[in-house]
Amino acid sequence: MKLVVVESPAKAKTIEKYLGGDYRVLASYGHVRDLPPKDGSVDPDAGFEMQWETYADKARQLKAITDEAKKADALILATDPDREGEAISWHVQEVLSKRRALPKSVERVTFNAITKAAVTEAMQRPRGLDEDLIDAYRARRALDYLVGFTLSPVLWRKLPGAKSAGRVQSVALRLIVDREREIELFKAQEYWSVAATMEADGTEFLARLVRFKGEKIDRLSIGDRGTAEAAKRAVEEGRFTVHSVETKPLTRNPPPPFTTSTLQQEAARKLGFSASHTMRVAQGLYEDGAITYMRTDGVDMAPEAISGARRAVVARYDAGYVPEKPRHYTSKAKNAQEAHEAIRPTDFSRERAGSDDHARLYDLIWKRALASQMSSARLERTSVELVDGTGQTALRATGQVVLFPGFLALYEEGRDDAEDEDGRRLPRLREGDAPVKRRVEAEQHFTQPPPRYSEASLVKKMEELGIGRPSTYAATLQTLKDREYVRLEKNRFIPEESGRLLTAFLERFFERYVSFDFTAHLEDELDDISGGRADWQAVLDAFWRDFKPKTAEIMEQKPSEITAALDDFLAPWLFPDKGDGSDARLCPACGEGRLALRGGRFGAFVACSNYPDCKFTRRFGQGGDDAAAGEGPEVLGQHPETGLDVVRKTGRFGPYIEMGAGKEAKRASIPKDVPELDLDMAVRLLSLPRTIGDHPETGKPITASIGRYGPYLAHDGKYAKLGGTADVFETGMNAAVVKLAEAAAGGGRGRGAREPLKVLGPHPRTEAEIKLMEGRFGPYVTDGTTNATLPKSLAPDQLTLEEAAQLIDERAAKGPPAKKGRKKAAAPRKAAAAPKKAAAAGKVATAKKAAPKKK
């Protein structure tokens, strides 16, 4: 019997079916061990020796693999065909070796698609583990560990509120912050356009002003209303005839099949998928045998796939839609390795695969790959110039006609920017024609700042700069969101205060390590390790020699010195020149103190130097906007019962209202859903909690209030969420009792009722019904036996049946959760410390075996 190890249970099930009874296929469920998150896991002084630790939740799966390996004649490592797949195979082999369960024969096989033909062919061409890829994995893992565990303590001690920093994520964050700075510094410029709606042969078309008073008109030439009105009158009074008609043939070639990054970009544009969701869905399609491997920067397809695509085009259209010769592509991306095929269907005759999001993504992949082998589109672009009798004023109309659609009949690539006017149809015009002028309009415009990055445009930019690799884009963006350094609004990235402050800190003190060129060069060196052109330990040593002293230097500085340096570095943004010669740092509240950056327990903020006499503060994220911080306290009026002033203020955590002073003062935050605050609303907010009345069953009071997580109802230690601030003041007894009852049915904390949010369907392997539920700690899926929490990266409304089933399978494989309060008996300290020297020697020996030096 031969034991085959792959990553996922879905992949294992499919492959075992292909191989038959002489093979046993088990899943490792991804990586089985990693560097433990503690100091000393990588030792730069010992040749970057690494101490690996198996995941506790993989114990059951590793035991199953170990038990089968002891009985097997051979071990076949069939993990994914990339660096991470090679690393998983290496880890499995190392674990089995330490457990003395490694069969005499160990082989490595790879396949680009999970089809019977691909798998059986791969089994005929086994090889050994690729030491260069394993070295590249070790280098990347050690590098990320050293950056994280060396830089993060500096952040925790010197930059309050910072969580961590990573090698690639910090550079991606800088891109987002730099774009936000561009937007804030952007000064809009007014300009006007003048256009006439003309008509010929019953067809209307638009002609724009391109010459006025004999001078060429560019986009920004007309900068005020007066000039625009004069130009408009000239067009209205002129009689325009066609002066020239210029027609040019145009050819559009199809784009290549998808790489990882272009798939993420196009899925974001056309399907609204996040990068991480795209990769989850693509993983499912790959494991189902529907598409080839989805982590690749290659853009060409195998010869047999190209032939299959050409046959599918002829069957769908006709022979005129395939070019005379097959198309071959090469990548234009920086640092492309092209080690694998592009992402394509495994069978071009299969037009559909999967359901829901899987079906939508497959359709995109199928159309793109098929279109890549179709004929070019032939178009005709026409430009018509119309001139008035004086020759001083001219209009131009442009348009294009599709003569032969070619690949456009099936697929057109999405765009991040708005379409231009060239796609408009024009009537047939000849020199001397005089189209009818229907109307003339002058329209005001303002130049726009560069757009914020979407997931698609950020991935594209990272690829252009050579930052990160196909397998890292999704994880990098997800990390930025999980750590709340950025937020997504209307599918665009906006940096949070913590993200801006972290970027400023890194640019000021670690400028080299967040520079785009340095990061791209380091990626090149890591690729050289993969190709056997560089020694991994030498690359790490060169990095560590500069990085370690720099972190030690910053660690020696006092937090006040760090804050002062950041205050100076961020001065152009925090205290921009007002343009009137006044002091940009002058406190707007007291008029005497000077504003400066301060560090607090919960992060940075701007405060007055006259504290505590002047308590003016401004949130760090408001930049130089003192108006947003408030021109000092604002008295809304006097409280009708106490006669005390009710004052609106702005603090480090946002706007609030205050009544009274000192310890007796009463305060309330101003909710975001209160658009306009007046005295009446302020008094109501200060009066909270509001007693609705006594519960008809218990006789105990029901109250409504606003807490840290929003508006809520409270009764006898139980809670229920309310929809908004208005509900706090409007909810009556009947509605309150119903909401509390619904909350109790869902677990007693108002997190939802017991009714499922969605019934996903029968489990594809056990046939048990899978439901999506709302739980106390967030949404989860259940098959009635096993509950699995949804990760933050997975949106409940986008969850598919296969994803839910895999979550349940993975949770079941981990075994029942450990009961709280029970701890394993600790070994006696002396007994554990006794064999210290022997244990240390064993670790060194293991590391040396795992990291052989290059010949």
pLDDT tens, position by position, 66-92: 999 999 999 999 998 888 889 999 999
Q: Quote the CA–CA distance of 109 and 129 in Å, as a whole number.
A: 9
Which of 11, 17, 15, 16 shows the shortest CA–CA distance to 29?
11
Higher confidence at residue 751 or residue 207? 207
**CA angle 125-307-375, nearest 5°?**
140
pLDDT at 89: 94
Instruction: State which amino acid sits at residue 682.
Output: A
pLDDT at 208: 95
pTM of the model: 0.68
**Token pair listed for 181:** 């700075």
% pLDDT > 90, the chain: 39
Higher confidence at residue 481 or residue 366? 366
Mean confidence (pLDDT) of the chain: 84
Instruction: State which amino acid sits at residue 738.
Output: V
pLDDT at 346: 92
**CA angle 137-141-147, nearest 5°?**
145
pLDDT bin (cut points 50, 70, 90) of residue 753 is very low
pLDDT bin (cut points 50, 70, 90) of residue 438 is very high
Most confidently predicted of 491-505, 661-675, 748-762: 491-505
Question: Which are the contacts of 564, defined by CB distance < 8 A and separation ≥ 6?
Answer: none
Indicate whether 664 pLDDT > 70. yes
* 264-278, 688-702, 840-854: range with lowest mean pLDDT: 840-854
pLDDT at 839: 37
Which of 705, 706, 679, 680 shows the shortest CA–CA distance to 691?
705
Pairing relation of β-strands 603-608 and 595-600? antiparallel
Indicate whether 730 pLDDT > 50. yes
Q: Quote the CA–CA distance of 708 and 785 in Å, as a whole number.
A: 34
Q: Quote the CA–CA distance of 13 and 765 in Å, as a whole number.
A: 10
Q: Quote the CA–CA distance of 458 and 333 in Å, as a whole number.
A: 14
Query: What are the residue ranges of helices labelled H in 492-558?
Result: 497-509, 516-530, 536-555
pLDDT at 333: 55
Residue entry with tokens 């009026």:
637
Strands in 769-775's sheet, in edge-to-edge order, are: 758-762, 769-775, 778-782, 787-789
pLDDT at 339: 55
Indicate whether 816 pLDDT > 70. no
- Per residue in 224-252, pLDDT (tens digit) is 999 999 999 999 999 999 999 999 999 99
Contact indicator for 635, 682 with CB cutoff of 8 Å: no
Q: Quote the CA–CA distance of 382 and 37 in Å, as a whole number.
A: 64
Indicate whether 446 pLDDT > 90. yes
- Per residue in 132-187, pLDDT (tens digit) is 999 999 999 999 889 888 888 888 888 766 777 888 888 999 999 999 989 988 88
pLDDT bin (cut points 50, 70, 90) of residue 855 is very low
Indicate whether 588 pLDDT > 90. no
- Per residue in 764-807, pLDDT (tens digit) is 667 777 888 877 667 888 887 788 888 765 667 677 777 788 78
pLDDT at 33: 92
Indicate whether 317 pLDDT > 60. yes
pLDDT bin (cut points 50, 70, 90) of residue 834 is very low
Mean pLDDT of 712-723: 88
Dihedral, CA of residue 804, residue 810, residue 814 and residue 817, to nearest 10: -10
**Token pair listed for 377:** 């589109």
pLDDT at 829: 41
* 199-208, 381-390, 634-643: range with lowest mean pLDDT: 634-643
Indicate whether 289 pLDDT > 50. yes
pLDDT at 579: 76
**Token pair listed for 657:** 């209202």
Indicate whether 302 pLDDT > 60. yes
Q: How far is CA 12 from the centre of its chain?
A: 30
Positions annotated as catalytic residues are: 293
Mean pLDDT of 210-237: 94
What is Dmax (Cα atoms) for the chain?
A: 105
pLDDT at 423: 58
Higher confidence at residue 580 or residue 315? 315
497-509 vs 559-569: helix axis angle to the nearest 10? 100
In this structure, the number of other CB atoms found within 10 A of the CB of residue 390 comes to 12
pLDDT at 175: 95
pLDDT bin (cut points 50, 70, 90) of residue 376 is very high
Instruction: State which amino acid sits at residue 602.
Output: F
